[in-house]
Structure 1
């Protein structure tokens, strides 16, 4: 294992490969949304995925998590090729959140997290209908674990509140708790700070570090440069579906091709973004719109 010091000053142990995407390509008719992308994530690592709008980041996420069957290439998770079925991917140990919040609005916070936990129960349909002793034991265990995860993400006080009544930032954290309920080895977060204020963004950063400290690998899509470069061990930049550069935050933020990819032409705007990339801690950060 390799010792890595994060921006928080903590020392992490990054282990062997947990996820390996090999030459993943996704075409929709004549449009190539993801073009022969290679991507590696190690155990205990926080990996960032950046790129301008339309770069193919969310499409690539969908290929990794079984939402899409790649046109070519393969995804190997924990030593096995993943089938293109989201349920199988979750059972294998990979969970995700979405760009747009997908909670059950009329269910409580606790019930939303419990939904994520059911993929780890063994109760069959007949036992569920009869509600026998095994069902009651499993249901109590699911409820207890869901409450523990609400406490972990800082939402222990929201147990009986309807998800739709929670503040926006709390809804984002609730999605993370539901993903954690599946007992993942790797969690993928699609723009977890989109629409958040600076305080909520800091809380999201702290939560991701805590998740990593549990031993999980984390992959994050983000537009907020300050957030991504202070958070991640490595960063991959996608442009028009292709991998432009992969490396440490320092390597990526100093590469002129990254600035050109975000800005194109225009020296004043390029200078502004370059300042943000070179000094992310001093910028205000921003959040982007949807991605292809």
Structure 2
């Protein structure tokens, strides 16, 4: 599975551990979708999560973000155990995008990003209904911040476009902008380049590095091996829900177990 020679990012990863998952296991009846997976992510680090279809990558993401309650194990963000509730996970500082785009199709790009920002506002229901001074101040601040994030991801001219009318690659970037609106310390991206052409994929790589350089940690699920091995500081490979190998892009790419997981090994070697 020689995809390409991994390039050194030249980036210095921080010592602070942002995310620590310990022994995360997720069972659905008799099926073990995630089997005792542990992972650490440091400040300013890009970690790639790879594996064949059905390896448990998205299920693991769902356990990290509170969409699933793990059968076993725990997840900590900045040393604090995360409650298995998505809203509380987001408020704690972890945001994500999804494998299948989940935008509000009939809302503008600006409105989609503003939705992500509301977890950081404090107006109560009555204030919002009456549209009092505090609500108006927060609404304007939210609008300004949303526009800043659209500019940041390269969508400055798409402010008033309905999400459903935007090109596919722009919709992917809009999802990232909405996730950034929550002020995360850790960003989880589930197949951010799926369906993209080479130019869009390269632009996404630059955007993720830009996000990392701003101080955020990033975890990426992706099937594009060239993208992963040239982007990430460290890569983990899952197979059948379990962690097969972890290391630098070069180490993982050259590991025979990873090659066999993707293209299959010789029957005689496996039986031996």
TM-score interval (norm. to shorter): over 0.9
Q: What is residue 180 of structure 2 aligned with on the other side?
A: 180
Q: What is residue 75 of structure 1 aligned with on the other side?
A: 75
| 2:38 aligned with 1:38 | yes
What is the count of residue pairs matched by the alignment?
Answer: 262
**Which whole-Å CA distance do the structure 2 matches of 1:119 and 1:264 have between them?**
45
Secondary structure of 2:33 counterpart? strand
**Which whole-Å CA distance do the structure 1 matches of 2:230 and 2:220 have between them?**
12
**Which whole-Å CA distance do the structure 1 matches of 2:137 and 2:62 have between them?**
35
Do the aligned partners of 1:15 and 1:44 also contact (CA within 8 Å) in 2?
no
Q: What is residue 171 of structure 1 aligned with on the other side?
A: 171
Do the aligned partners of 2:26 and 2:71 also contact (CA within 8 Å) in 1?
yes
Q: What is residue 98 of structure 2 aligned with on the other side?
A: 98
Show the 5 A alignment for 1:150-229: 150-229=150-229
Q: What is residue 130 of structure 2 aligned with on the other side?
A: 130
Do the aligned partners of 2:9 and 2:231 also contact (CA within 8 Å) in 1?
no
**Which whole-Å CA distance do the structure 1 matches of 2:249 and 2:26 have between them?**
27
Secondary structure of 1:117 counterpart? helix
Do the aligned partners of 1:190 and 1:222 also contact (CA within 8 Å) in 2?
yes
**Which whole-Å CA distance do the structure 1 matches of 2:254 and 2:92 have between them?**
37
Per the TM alignment, residue 8 of structure 1 is displaced from its structure 2 partner at its CA by 7.2
**Which whole-Å CA distance do the structure 2 matches of 1:134 and 1:258 have between them?**
55
Q: What is residue 12 of structure 2 aligned with on the other side?
A: 12
**Which whole-Å CA distance do the structure 1 matches of 2:10 and 2:117 have between them?**
30
**Which whole-Å CA distance do the structure 2 matches of 1:124 and 1:10 have between them?**
46
| 2:261 aligned with 1:250 | no
**Which whole-Å CA distance do the structure 2 matches of 1:84 and 1:76 have between them?**
11
| 2:113 aligned with 1:110 | no
**Which whole-Å CA distance do the structure 2 matches of 1:33 and 1:264 have between them?**
20
Secondary structure of 1:26 counterpart? strand
Per the TM alignment, residue 132 of structure 1 is displaced from its structure 2 partner at its CA by 1.2
Per the TM alignment, residue 264 of structure 1 is displaced from its structure 2 partner at its CA by 0.8
**Which whole-Å CA distance do the structure 2 matches of 1:139 and 1:7 have between them?**
43
**Which whole-Å CA distance do the structure 2 matches of 1:215 and 1:69 have between them?**
29
| 2:28 aligned with 1:28 | yes
Per the TM alignment, residue 126 of structure 1 is displaced from its structure 2 partner at its CA by 0.8
- Which string of whole-angstrom CA distances, capped at 9 and with x for unpartnered residues, describes residues 9-64 of structure 1? 55334231111100000000000000000111001100000000000000000000
Point out which structure has higher relative CO (alpha carbons under 8 A, 6+ apart): 2
**Which whole-Å CA distance do the structure 2 matches of 1:193 and 1:9 have between them?**
19
After the TM superposition, which parts of structure 1 deviate over 6 Å for at least 4 consecutive aligned residues? none
| 2:147 aligned with 1:147 | yes
**Which whole-Å CA distance do the structure 1 matches of 2:96 and 2:11 have between them?**
25
